[in-house]
Amino acid sequence: MKDEVMTNIVSLLESDETFAEIVEKILREAERYLCTSHAAVLQVSTDGKLINTVISYAGEGELPLKINNIPKSKFLIGSDELKCCATGRCSEEEKYALEAFGVRSSVVVPIFINDSCAMYFAVFDVRNELCFDKVRMQFIRDVSRIIQSIAQKKVTNNSLLSSYEVLRDILSSIGSGIMVFDKHGDEIYFENDVARKTDEVRRTIQKCVKERVIRQDNAKKPENDEETETERPIEHYDPESGLWFEIKFSDLTWIDGSAVIVCTAVDITQKKKNQQKIEYQANNDFLTGLYNRMKCELDLRNIIRDAVCSNQKGALMFIDLDDFKHINDGLGHQYGDLLLQQIAAGLQGIPGLRGHCYRMGGDEFVVIVKPEQFIGISKIIKNVVALFNRPWYLRGTEYFCTMSMGVATFPDNSDDVHEIVKMADMAMYDAKRSGKNRYNFYDGSKNHNTVQRLDIENNMRQAVASQIHEFVVFYQPVVDTVTKKCMSCEALVRWDSKALGFMGPGDFIPLAEYLGLITDIGDYVLEEACRQCKIWNDKGYKDFHINVNLSVVQLLQQNVVENVGRILSRTGVNPRNIVLEITESFAINDMERVLKIISGLKALGPRIALDDFGTGYSSLNYIKQLPLNIIKVDKTFIDDIVEDEYAQAFVKLIVDLSKTIGTQIVVEGIEDIEQYNLLKKIGVNYIQGYYFGKPVPANQFEFEYLGKVLNDNK
C-alpha cells in the first residue's frame, strides 16, 4: 500500500497541472496510507507572521479545519523543524494550540523554498492521539520533500536538478523495484536499490519492458501521452522465483529531457494467493469439489464462443437426480452428501469429462461436452447412464439413485449461455415427466414451456391446499382370465383442474413428487379408494378389492405406516380388500429399510403388489426376499409379446416362479385379443388393459364392470 501510494505520488512530479491541483492529489493519496482525519499544506505570509491554508484535505465525514490568519507564534511550530504533538504527550502550550483547532494529534513538517521556510505540510487527527512509527514519519518526510520539489520547480521554473535528487532518494527507499529505460528499453538510466539487488525484480522488469516495446512497435501507435497515462498495470509471473509482480509503466521526460520509460514492479504474490483462494471459493462447490454454477456459465460462454468461431458443435447435459430429496431425508444429510460426492467423483471419472462437470446446486449437475469431444457424445451419454445404473455404497448397503438428463447442443439450439442451460433443463424436465431414469435431447418444436410448468406448480399448490376435490379417482378393471370376472381394479388419479383442464397422472405426478405434494394427493387417493371399496363391499361384492399406488416419496415418509393405518381405520374398509402397489425403484434401495416398511404396511392388513415389474433393476432373486403378494408385469413386456419370443419366455418364467414363491401375477397393458390369448396360454391369471377397459369414474365402473363377467371378444 505504502509503495503503491508513493509510486503514485512520485508520478505527480511530472504533472503539468497547477501546484494546487497536484498538491490536492498528493494529500488525497497520502491519506490513503496515513488514514488520519486531516492533512493540509499551509503557507506562511510574505511578512512571515501569519499561517494560511493553501490546500486542505478532510477525511470522510469530517468537517474541514479552519486554519486561516493564525499568528505563527500561536501555531504549532515554534522553530522551523518537524514537530510531532499529541494532546497527552506535549507541553501545556502545545496542547493549548492543538485544542484551538480541535485537534488531538499533529505532525507538521516545514517546507523550504530557496532556503527559507515558506510552507508546512501538516497531518492532523481530530479523533485520536496518534503516535507515528518510523516508517510513517519517513513517509511524511518524503511526501513533504516531493511537495517541496514541486513548489521549488514551480518557483524556479523547472529546477531539474533538485527534483532529480529528491527523486533518486525517494525512489531508492521505496519497497518496489523501479527502473528507468530509454524509450527503446535498451539503456538503463536508473534503477533503485530493490531493482539492483533483487534478481527476480530486475529480470521481470527487463522482460516486461522489452515486451512492451515490442507490443507498442507492433501496434505502431503514435506516442500519445494521454493514452499511455491510463495504461493498465499488468500482472507478471516469474516462474523462476514463483513470484507475481504488478508492473506499471509510465512514459516520462527524464531529467536530461529525453523520453524515458519508468517501470515499477511490486511484489503481489501474497495478494495473488489470496485472490486465487477467493477465486477457488467463488468457482467451486464446497461439498463435491466440482466447479459451481458461476464457473459453468463462465466456461460455457467461452466454449460456445470458440464453437461458433470454429464452426463446431458442443453440448450441455443437465442431470437431476431422481427422488434425491427423499433419499436425503430418509438416510440423513450426511449420507446424502456422501452420495453427491460419489456421484461427482463418478462423473469426473468418465473419460473426457474431468474439469467439465459442475454442480449447479442441490442435486443438479451439469456436464459440458466440448467441441473436441462432441463426436463421442453418444459414448459419453452411455457412460453417464451406466454410472447411474450401478449402485452406490452408503452405510454398507447398496443404493440405487437414478437420474433424469436433458441435453441441449450449441450453437444450433442456441448460442446464449442462459438459454442453453434452460433448454437442457427443460429437456431434463421432460425426461422426468416421461417417467424419470432416462435422457432426452432438447426438441425446439416441442412446447416445453417453463411458464406452463410454473402455472402447474402454483395451481397444484392451491388445489392441494384448498381444492383437493379437483383430484378425482378413476378405476380400471382387473380381470380373472379363468372366470372372466372383474373382482378387482386399480385406482388411478386424474386432476380435473378448473384452471388448467383435465390431466392424466403423467402430466402432474412427477412434479407433485418433485414439489413434495404427492403425499397429500396420495393420501387423498387412498382415502377415496378405501371409501369406494367399502361402498362396493357393502353392496354385496364382499371380496372385491382395489389397488392403490404409493409413490416412493410417500413410502419414505417417516410415518408412512401410521398414516396408512389411520386412513384404513377412518374409512372402515376391510384392509384385506386393499392392495398397495409399490414400484420397483422403491424396492431396490436399502433392503433392511424396505423390508421394515413393507412388513409394517402388511401388518395393517393390505396386500402388497410390486408394480412396473421389468422396467427397473430387480432380479428375480431380489424379489424372492420381499414379502410380496402380487407382481404386476409392465406393459413394455407385453407390447411386442406376440412376436417377441424372449418376452414370452420371460413372462412364462415369472408365472412359473410366482407359483413357487406364492405370488399372483397381473399383466398390464393388454390391448388386443392376440395378446390376451397368448397370456392366457402361458398361464397368466389376471389381466389389466384397455382390452377389457380403460380407467373410468366410480359410477361408470360400477355400472360396467363391478363383479361382472366380461365378454372376451369385446
> H/E element holding 196?
helix 193-197
Q: What is the CA radius of gyration of the chain?
A: 41
Residue 145 to residues 13, 108, 116, 523, 602, Cα–Cα distance (Å): 11, 13, 14, 85, 93
Question: Which of the stretches 75-83, 283-291, 372-380, 688-696 binds ligand C2E when contact is defined by CB under 6 A?
Answer: 688-696
Residue by residue, DSSP assigns 598-658 as HHHHHHTS-EEEEEEETSS---HHHHHTS--SEEEE-HHHHHTTTT-HHHHHHHHHHHHHH
Question: Which of the stretches 97-105, 312-320, 496-504, 603-611 binds Ca ion when contact is defined by CB under 5 A?
Answer: 603-611
671 binds, among Ca ion, ligand C2E, none (CB under 5 to 8 A by kind): ligand C2E
Q: Is 697 in the site for ligand C2E (CB under 6 A)?
A: no
Applying CB under 6 A, which of residues 110, 330, 336, 522 lies at the interface with ligand C2E? 522
Q: How far is the CB of 423 from Ca ion (least distance, A)?
A: 31
- Buried b / exposed e along 322-331 (16+ C-beta atoms within 10 A): bbbbbbbebb
Q: How far is the CB of 507 from ligand C2E (least distance, A)?
A: 9
Question: Which of the stretches 169-177, 444-452, 502-510, 573-581 binds Ca ion when contact is defined by CB under 5 A?
Answer: 573-581
Applying CB under 6 A, which of residues 509, 580, 597, 626 lies at the interface with ligand C2E? 509
Applying CB under 5 A, which of residues 4, 125, 238, 581 lies at the interface with Ca ion? 581
With contact defined as beta carbons under 8 Å apart, do 545 and 579 qualify? yes
With contact defined as beta carbons under 8 Å apart, do 108 and 80 qualify? no
Window 570-609: contact mask with ligand C2E (x via CB under 6 A): ----------------------------------------
The interface with ligand C2E within residues 544-573 (CB under 6 A) comprises 549, 551
Q: Is 493 in the site for ligand C2E (CB under 6 A)?
A: yes
What span, in angstroms and rounded, lies between the C-alpha atoms of 192 and 196?
Answer: 6
Q: Any bridge partners for residue 40, and if so which?
A: 56, 122
Q: Is 141 helix (H, G, I), strand (E, B) or coil?
A: helix
Applying CB under 6 A, which of residues 275, 690, 704, 709 lies at the interface with ligand C2E? 690
Applying CB under 5 A, which of residues 176, 549, 585, 658 lies at the interface with Ca ion? 549
With contact defined as beta carbons under 8 Å apart, do 406 and 420 qualify? no
Q: How far is the CB of 367 from ligand C2E (least distance, A)?
A: 29
- Please tell me the count of residues contacting ligand C2E according to CB under 6 A: 22
Q: Is 665 in the site for ligand C2E (CB under 6 A)?
A: no
What span, in angstroms and rounded, lies between the C-alpha atoms of 247 and 268?
Answer: 10
Nearest partner of 552 among 503, 603, 592, 516, judged by Cα: 516
Q: How far is the CB of 436 from Ca ion (least distance, A)?
A: 14
Applying CB under 6 A, which of residues 118, 486, 492, 587 lies at the interface with ligand C2E? 492
Q: How far is the CB of 397 from ligand C2E (least distance, A)?
A: 25
Window 604-623: contact mask with Ca ion (x via CB under 5 A): -------xx-----------
Question: Which of the stretches 89-97, 438-446, 527-535, 576-584 binds Ca ion when contact is defined by CB under 5 A?
Answer: 576-584
What span, in angstroms and rounded, lies between the C-alpha atoms of 365 and 4?
Answer: 44
Q: Is 669 in the site for ligand C2E (CB under 6 A)?
A: yes
Q: Any bridge partners for residue 84, and if so which?
A: 107
251 binds, among ligand C2E, Ca ion, none (CB under 5 to 8 A by kind): none
Q: Is 619 helix (H, G, I), strand (E, B) or coil?
A: coil
The interface with ligand C2E within residues 426-485 (CB under 6 A) comprises 476
- For residue 591, give the amino acid letter: M
> What are φ and ψ of residue 196, in 5° steps?
-70, -40
Q: How far is the CB of 628 from Ca ion (least distance, A)?
A: 14
With contact defined as beta carbons under 8 Å apart, do 337 and 321 qualify? no
Residue 407 has, within 13 A of its CA and on its CB side, a CA count of: 18
DSSP code of 449?
-
Q: How far is the CB of 492 from Ca ion (least distance, A)?
A: 7
Quick count: other Cβ atoms within 10 Å of Cβ 485? 14
Applying CB under 6 A, which of residues 298, 671, 680, 708 lies at the interface with ligand C2E? 671
Q: Is 125 in the site for Ca ion (CB under 5 A)?
A: no
> What are φ and ψ of residue 94, in 5° steps?
-65, -40
Cis peptide before 695 (omega within 30 of 0): no
690 binds, among ligand C2E, Ca ion, none (CB under 5 to 8 A by kind): ligand C2E
Nearest partner of 634 among 664, 665, 589, 607, judged by Cα: 665
Q: How far is the CB of 502 from Ca ion (least distance, A)?
A: 20
All 3 cell numbers of residue 22? 497536484
What span, in angstroms and rounded, lies between the C-alpha atoms of 111 and 69?
Answer: 18
Q: Is 695 in the site for ligand C2E (CB under 6 A)?
A: yes
Q: Looking at beta carbons only, is 289 or 504 nearer to ligand C2E? A: 504
Applying CB under 6 A, which of residues 478, 611, 630, 684 lies at the interface with ligand C2E? 611
Q: Looking at beta carbons only, is 41 or 609 nearer to ligand C2E? A: 609
All 3 cell numbers of residue 36? 488520519
Q: Is 689 in the site for ligand C2E (CB under 6 A)?
A: yes
Question: Which of the stretches 30-38, 278-286, 558-566, 685-693 binds ligand C2E when contact is defined by CB under 6 A?
Answer: 685-693
Phi-psi region of 428 (alpha: psi -120 to 50; beta: other; left: phi over 0): alpha
- Please tell me the count of residues contacting Ca ion according to CB under 5 A: 4
> H/E element holding 364?
strand 364-369
Give the residue carrying C-alpha cell 499488468: 234
Residue 227 to residues 221, 231, 291, Cα–Cα distance (Å): 10, 7, 39
Question: Which of the stretches 274-282, 334-342, 568-576, 687-695 binds ligand C2E when contact is defined by CB under 6 A?
Answer: 687-695
Residue 228 to residues 35, 216, 253, Cα–Cα distance (Å): 30, 11, 13
The distance of Cα 339 from the centroid of its chain, to the nearest Å, equals: 18
What span, in angstroms and rounded, lies between the C-alpha atoms of 631 and 623?
Answer: 9
Q: Looking at beta carbons only, is 192 or 549 nearer to ligand C2E? A: 549
Q: How far is the CB of 342 from ligand C2E (least distance, A)?
A: 28
Nearest partner of 535 among 569, 567, 573, judged by Cα: 573
Applying CB under 6 A, which of residues 355, 362, 444, 506 lies at the interface with ligand C2E? 506
Q: Looking at beta carbons only, is 95 or 484 nearer to ligand C2E? A: 484
Give the residue carrying C-alpha cell 461458433: 308
204 binds, among Ca ion, ligand C2E, none (CB under 5 to 8 A by kind): none
Q: How far is the CB of 693 from Ca ion (least distance, A)?
A: 15
Q: Any bridge partners for residue 251, and if so which?
A: 261
All 3 cell numbers of residue 17? 497541472
All 3 cell numbers of residue 29? 493519496
506 binds, among Ca ion, ligand C2E, none (CB under 5 to 8 A by kind): ligand C2E
Q: Is 504 in the site for ligand C2E (CB under 6 A)?
A: yes
Q: Is 527 in the site for ligand C2E (CB under 6 A)?
A: no
All 3 cell numbers of residue 584? 420397483
Q: Looking at beta carbons only, is 612 or 702 nearer to Ca ion? A: 612
Pairing of strands 686-688, 664-668: parallel
Question: Which of the stretches 127-135, 306-314, 357-365, 682-690 binds ligand C2E when contact is defined by CB under 6 A?
Answer: 682-690
Q: How far is the CB of 510 from Ca ion (least distance, A)?
A: 15
Q: How far is the CB of 498 from ligand C2E (least distance, A)?
A: 20
Q: Is 322 in the site for ligand C2E (CB under 6 A)?
A: no
Q: Is 612 in the site for ligand C2E (CB under 6 A)?
A: yes
The distance of Cα 135 from the centroid of its chain, to the nearest Å, equals: 45
509 binds, among Ca ion, ligand C2E, none (CB under 5 to 8 A by kind): ligand C2E
Residues in touch with ligand C2E (CB under 6 A): 476, 492-493, 504-506, 509, 522, 525, 549, 551, 611-612, 635, 668-671, 688-690, 695
Residues in touch with Ca ion (CB under 5 A): 549, 581, 611-612
